[in-house]
Amino acid sequence: MTNTMKDELSDRVTKLLTDHDPKTTDPVIFLRARFDAGLAWVHFPVGLGGLGMPRALQSYVDALLTAAGAPDNNPGRNIIGLGMAAPTILAFGTAEQKQRFLRPLFTGEETWCQLFSEPGAGSDLAGLSTRAVRDGGDWIVNGQKVWTSGAQNAHWAILIARTDPGAAKHAGITYFLCDMRDPGVEVRPLRQITGEAEFNEVFLTDVRVPDTRRVGAEGQGWQVANATLMNERVAIGGRDTPREGGMVGVVARTWRRRPELRTPGLHGRLLRLWVEAEVARLTGKRLSQKLAAGQPGQEGAAMKLTFARIAQELSALELELLADDGLRYSDWTFRQPEQVDMTGRDAGYRYLRAKGNSIEGGTSEVLRNIVAERILGLPPEPRADKDIPWKDLTR
């Protein structure tokens, strides 16, 4: 069956390339045609960018298109849309939402951000206080979100807000799609330790969100958000990278290029981290294979946790290896990058940027709890506030 499917995919790719020559076709037009041919996400349903085939066959399609010089959709620029919004809309969205949002999301015509965390509800996301109040066919949203990557360029946002303050904190949340261009949406950059502002804070003041942009049932937001977060952790920690991809490759290249910097102690640390990075890479490949057969599980939390720790240890090792040169920081220019290259620029930047790895996508402390409780089956931590109405909680 797989060979038959591959033959069909090969025929579809050939027809796409014949009808839309990548050398002469505008990239957006090419990507629209790719979506319509079912080659965007082959595991998605027919008519929604897919063909209902096994997810594992997507890499086969991608390889054929890459070899032909076809444009991609610059996934680093829209990682939240592609890695989080798309699978969530597919799993919980209405037929109208799928038809409206998936195609421009895939082509990159509409980019996305994530309005989840708040100043008072970061690690305890279920404690969020942004309110959505029903007003006829709309919801009126007021609140503040923080750590919102790419909000300055985003067209749309996945948003969770409290719709029932009388329910327990996990039960009174609803999930929405918010137009970032609507009146009442204000984006302010947050300058980080690196000098950049890849994150933002977002203020929502009387923002009207039609009920047609509600994803899932009213009060189902925690369940929908958890599906999004599992996909987010896979997107951050479970990427299919080549050997010596990412930070381990940066440090290994420095080690080979600068033999005068080597010491026995640093050599031992590099060997240990190289092995750990390789184990994490191979585990990520296994996770990708599991994803190909179904939905992401809690393993994404373990992968993201491992990614953050190894990246931070490697960036610290690089700084020590470079000695005085590691203290250089060549560019402190304030800017808001469309996407983040965590291995780019110089060692000082990489060291500082890696500090965020253990916060973004779920703090390492929270992820350790998830691994302990949901993977290892250890007793959960006591949660005295779990069944108390949100409005009665001390904040």
* Chain mean pLDDT for the chain: 90
Q: Which token pair is 279?
A: 């184990």
What distance lies between CA 6 and its chain's CA centroid? 29
**Range list of H helices, the chain:** 2-19, 27-36, 58-67, 79-80, 86-92, 95-107, 221-237, 247-257, 264-293, 299-322, 347-354, 364-370
Residue 225 has pLDDT above 80, yes or no: yes
Q: How many residues does the chain have?
A: 395
Contact 372, 366 (CB under 8 A): no
Residues with Cβ within 8 Å of residue 241, at least 6 apart in sequence: 281, 284
End-to-end C-alpha distance for the chain, whole angstroms: 57
pLDDT digits (tens, 9 = 90+) for 102-140: 999 999 999 999 999 999 887 789 999 999 999 999 999
Q: What percent of the chain has pLDDT over 70?
A: 94
306, 237 Cβ separation under 8 angstroms: yes
What distance in Å separates the CA atoms of residue 8 and residue 10, rounded to the nearest whole number?
5
pLDDT by residue (tens digit) across 349-374? 899 999 988 888 778 888 898 888 88
φ/ψ of 262, rounded to 5, equals -75, 140
For the cut 60, the answer to whether the pLDDT of residue 197 exceeds it is yes
List the domain boundaries for the chain: 2-72, 225-375
User: Taking 80 as the threshold, does the pLDDT of residue 307 lie above it?
Assistant: yes
pLDDT at 294: 52
pLDDT in the model for residue 366: 84
Q: Which residue has the higher pLDDT, 231 or 181?
A: 181
For residue 60, is pLDDT > 90?
yes
Max CA pair span of the chain: 71
CATH classification code of 225-375: 1.20.140.10
User: Which pLDDT band, with edges at 50, 70 and 90, does 234 fall under?
Assistant: low
Mean pLDDT of 76-103: 95
Higher-confidence residue: 382 or 132?
132
Residue 176: left (phi > 0), alpha (psi -120 to 50), or beta?
beta
For the chain, what percent of residues have pLDDT higher than 90?
A: 62
pLDDT by residue (tens digit) across 18-56? 999 999 999 999 999 999 999 999 999 999 999 999 988
**Stretch 69-86: mean pLDDT, rounded?**
93
Report strand pairing: 185-190 vs 199-210: antiparallel
List active site positions: 232
Q: What is the mean pLDDT of residues 157-185?
A: 97
